[in-house]
Structures are given as C-alpha cells and as structure tokens.
Amino acid sequence: MFRMRAETVTSHIVGAEKEQVQGEEMEWKCRKSGHSSDKENQNSNWLKTNNVLNNVLFTMRLHSLNQTQRTPLSAPTNKNQDFTLTNLVSDKTSLLSDEILLKILSKLPKSQRTANFLVSKRWLNLQGRLVRSVTLLDWEFLVTGRVFLRFPNLVHVDLVNGCLVSSRNSGIFCTHKSLSFHLGSDVEGKDRFFDENLVLNADEVDRGLRVLASGCPNLRKLVVVNCSEMGLLSLSEECPTLQELDLLMCNDRVLRGIAACQNLQVLRLSGIVDGFYGSLVSDVGLTILAQGCKRLVKLELSGCKGSYEGIKAIGQCCQMLEELTLRNHNMEDEWLSALSFFGNLRTLRFISCKRIDGSAELDEQLGSCPAVERLHLEKCQLRDKRSLRALFLVCHNTRKLFVRNCWGLNDDMFSTSSALRRVRFLSLEGCSLLTTHGLESVIISWYELQSLEVKSCNNIKDSELNPIVSTVFSALKDLKWKPDSKSQLSSNLEGTGMGKRGSKFFKKSCDWKSLPMHRTSDS
C-alpha cells in the first residue's frame, strides 16, 4: 500500500517536471520568434505549477491520514473536495466578526446572557462589552483597573457595598435602601451601630472616583458613599455625561463638588439616617446645589435639615425640576410656603416623614404650587391637622392622591382633603383608622373623580355604604375595592379549618390517662 502511494507521489512529481520542461521549451521558442512577452510566460508557468502543486498536496494529505480515516483503495477518491475555511473550522462562530456576534448576543434575554462567558475567552470578553451596570463588591477590583478590562462599556456603577469594610463572617446583616453591611457582635453604640470604621475614608473613596472617571468617561449613573468634594470635582471633569447621582453620607462640603456636574438631572442626597449615620445638609448645601445643578429634573432629600430659604433657592434656580421627594425630613417650620416658587413641579412625595410642617401660622403665609398633579403620602405620621390642610391648600390642583400606610389618618384628618377639588384618582392603602363615613364625606364632593383604589382599610365596610356612594361608584371608570382584608381572608378560608386559634385547632383527640392499662404477669 505504501509502495503504491509512493509511486503515485513519484508519478505526480515526474509529471510536474515534464510540464516544467515543456514550459521552458515553449518559452525558449517564443523568445526566439519574439511573439510573446515575459509577463504572459510567467503567468502561464505559475498557473501550471500551481495545479501540479495542488495535486501533490492532495496526495500528501491523503497519505498523512490515520489508519481509521483511510478510504479503501478500491473506492474512488474525489479530488474536488471542499477545503474551504468553514469546513476546516470546528467553531463556526469564530468566523463571525465581533460586531456581528455582539448584535446576536444583544438580542438574547438578560436571563440567558449570564452564562455566555463560560463558552470561551472570546465570549467572555464579548459578554463583558454588553454589560452596562455593575454593583461593586471588591474595592481592589476598581482601583486596580480590572473592572474596565472586564466591563469596558459601563454606564451605571454602584460603589456603596465596595466601600464597606465590615466583616462578612458575622451573622448579623443590616440593610437600608442601597446600603447593606454585616454587623459584628461587639457593637457598643446604643443609638447608632454604623460608625466610620465600617466604611472607607474619604481619601480612599476619592481615589476610587478618580480611577472610575478615567476608565468610564461615558458614565451616566453613580451611587457612592462618604466621598468628598475633590472626588466629585474629578468625576465631573472626566464624565460630562453624568446624569444620575446618589450620595450617601452627604454634607454641605460635599455639595461644593457637585455644583460642577452641570448636566446632572437626577440627584438623591442622604444626610441623616437614624441608627446608621448622621451627616448635615443645611440651607448652605441646598443653596450650593441649587446654583450649580440647574438642570435637575428629579430631586430626593433624605434626612436633610433645611428651611424656607433653602427650598426657595431650589425652586428659583432649578426651574426644570418636575419631581421632589422628601424622606424623613428635618425641615424647620414654615418651609412649606416655599413650594410656591416651584413653577414646573409635577410630583411631590413625602416618605417616612414624622411631620409635614410644625408652624401654627401657615394659613396666613401660604402660597400655591399650581403645577403639582401627583401627591404621595407614604409611611408618614399625619397627626397635625393644620399642617396637612396647609399641604392640601398649597397643592390644590392635585389630580392624583396616594395615601399608603400612614399613621393617624382618621376621619377628621382625611376631611382636610376636601380642599382638593380636582382629584381624579384616589388610592388608599393601609389606612386602618379611616371609616366608611369619613371616606363618603370626601369623595361625594369630588365631582371629577374617575378612579378609586381602596386596599387593607379594615374600618371601611361594604355594608355601611349608602346609596349615594353607590351612585358615585357606578360612574367611576376604574374601581378596585378590597378594603376589609380580614373579612376577605376569613371568607376564603371558610371550611378549611385554618384561621382558628391554636388551643382550639390543635385539640387533643384523647387523653393519655384514659388509655387502657395493659398489665403483664410473670410466668
């Protein structure tokens, strides 16, 4: 067999030599006659030699095949086999360019993208280019620059958990909004268990911000804790497209650096958080914020101490502001009248606020904020009737009113909402003190009411509704009525045996003392 293959190779080589000799003779004759050019002879010789070399390479390839892959000599061999690149490459996706493969991978759902990096190193890099948002857990991953090699196209970065230095071996885990950390058993503070030792110092955080600014020039959203004004200044210079910023442990000095972020549209400031940390944001910081960030659209002030002057500065300078959120605010009295300076404010939110305004002379100095259309009250203590009425007078053009899980909202407090004459949507949830009569007295006066949503208000009973309210309900476009959750639960569990007290439900079927005694006699 080997002798025959050797003879075949020898015959091809001899044939190639004959053709080469014939080509040289033709070239000599043509030169002698002077009818052909050197360029045509070179092309013809190259074509003939190329065909011969293809035959030799084909024969040598057959000779190098393994014994299991050899075809019998009696079987005819096809010399016109397809040796294109697609048949020789096992991974067909390697023939696609990165741009085409990225378009294909981007069409996959996010739930199916996470496992793509396990295919190969190339897919690992491509998958990293598709990632836009990252929550950092290891601070060294940022300062060493590895995060940019792994994810080169980041636009949203959360640095809060990476800034914490708490031990993860502790079994106590605390969380508040975006801040989560492990707490050791050696906590000494009574009023606050989160201290400065659990977070990186401001210099180290600023160093990470400088690295982030140089590696992510297209950054649009950032969440950071315990930074200084120098870190924000470097960030604003390198990242002109920054549009959304969350600052935890913020104070007036930090807001000096935020004034350079001229394209900022969404800002969330966290000053004082009970039990975690206390950072002062006063009228000084609010005024710096107002003069520097004039393109704000959404602003959230959490645990900030301000007054009429600070809120007034924001209303006068941030004329594009459409949404204002006050979370657990510590504003001074008479600040509520400053809302009249917000000309384009559409949404006003109060979340976890212990009070609205403590002033006793609000009715005399109140203005109005006619642009407000949505008013949210969530987890607030509504115990001051005068301040609640003042809020409704300022936002008298409110179209949508949301009241959820607020303490102290009884019939007398809810009656102040009759000052809102243009309400079209009302949502009540978790208002356990509000009765059916208190609800009826208000919604009857709202002639533009179109939608009503009542959930988990246990003192509102279906049996207590009068015919006038039924007529109002029939004219509504949308009605979601689930006020008494307890009665609804008991009706659903009726006949199942559940919902009873343990002393009755787990009743003993028999007493062990009543069991017959079996005595055994000795044999």
How many Cβ atoms from other residues are within 10 Å of residue 297's Cβ? Answer: 17
Quickly state the pLDDT bin for 187 (edges 50, 70, 90): low
Q: Does residue 176 contact residue 276 with C-beta atoms inside 8 Å?
A: yes
Task: Please indicate, yes or no, if residue 114 is contained in any of the structural domains.
Answer: no
8: pLDDT strictly greater than 60:
no
Q: Per residue in 416-459, pLDDT tens?
A: 999 999 999 999 999 999 999 999 999 999 999 999 999 999 89
Element (H, E) at 234: helix 229-238
Q: What is the CATH number of the domain that holds 178?
A: 3.80.10.10
Quickly state the pLDDT bin for 49 (edges 50, 70, 90): low
Q: Per residue in 365-378, pLDDT tens?
A: 678 899 999 999 99
Give the span between the Cα atoms of 458 and 489, in whole angstroms. Answer: 12
517: pLDDT strictly greater than 60:
no
Task: Please indicate, yes or no, if residue 387 is contained in any of the structural domains.
Answer: yes
Task: Please indicate, yes or no, if residue 154 is contained in any of the structural domains.
Answer: no
pLDDT of residue 313: 95
**Mean pLDDT across the stretch 279-296?**
91
Cα dihedral 81, 87, 88, 89, rounded to 10, equals: 180
Q: Does residue 198 contact residue 166 with C-beta atoms inside 8 Å?
A: yes
**Mean pLDDT across the stretch 262-267?**
92
pLDDT of residue 360: 63
278: pLDDT strictly greater than 80:
no
How many Cβ atoms from other residues are within 10 Å of residue 322's Cβ? Answer: 16
Overall number of domains in the chain: 1
Quickly state the pLDDT bin for 178 (edges 50, 70, 90): low
Q: Does residue 334 contact residue 359 with C-beta atoms inside 8 Å?
A: yes
341: pLDDT strictly greater than 50:
yes
Q: Does residue 295 contact residue 289 with C-beta atoms inside 8 Å?
A: no
Q: Which residue has the higher pLDDT, 146 or 30?
A: 146
Task: Please indicate, yes or no, if residue 402 is contained in any of the structural domains.
Answer: yes
Residue 173: what are its φ and ψ, rounded to 5°?
Answer: -125, 120
If you average pLDDT over every residue of the chain, what do you get? 78
Q: Which of 19-33, 107-121, 232-246 has the highest mean pLDDT?
A: 232-246
Give the span between the Cα atoms of 439 and 98, in whole angstroms. Answer: 62
Residue labelled with tokens 């990165």? 98
Residue labelled with tokens 């390479």? 57
**pTM of the predicted structure, to 2 decimals:** 0.72
Q: Does residue 220 contact residue 155 with C-beta atoms inside 8 Å?
A: yes
Give residue 212's domain range. 160-183+196-490
Q: Does residue 428 contact residue 455 with C-beta atoms inside 8 Å?
A: yes
- DSSP output for 186-209: T---SS----GGGB--HHHHHHHH
Query: Of the given ranges (95-104, 132-141, 499-508), which has the lowest mean pLDDT?
Result: 499-508
pLDDT of residue 307: 92
323: pLDDT strictly greater than 70:
yes
Task: Please indicate, yes or no, if residue 495 is contained in any of the structural domains.
Answer: no
Amino acid residing at 34: G
Give the span between the Cα atoms of 182 and 172, in whole angstroms. Answer: 6
Q: Does residue 227 contact residue 253 with C-beta atoms inside 8 Å?
A: no
Quickly state the pLDDT bin for 62 (edges 50, 70, 90): low
Give the single-character DSSP code of 170: -
Quickly state the pLDDT bin for 168 (edges 50, 70, 90): low
Q: Does residue 165 contact residue 200 with C-beta atoms inside 8 Å?
A: yes
**Mean pLDDT across the stretch 182-204?**
69
64: pLDDT strictly greater than 80:
no
pLDDT of residue 465: 84
Q: Per residue in 129-160, pLDDT tens?
A: 888 999 998 999 999 999 999 899 999 999 99
Burial of 20 (0-12, 13-18, 19+ CB in 10 A): middle
Query: Of the given ranges (46-50, 117-121, 202-206), which has the lowest mean pLDDT?
Result: 46-50
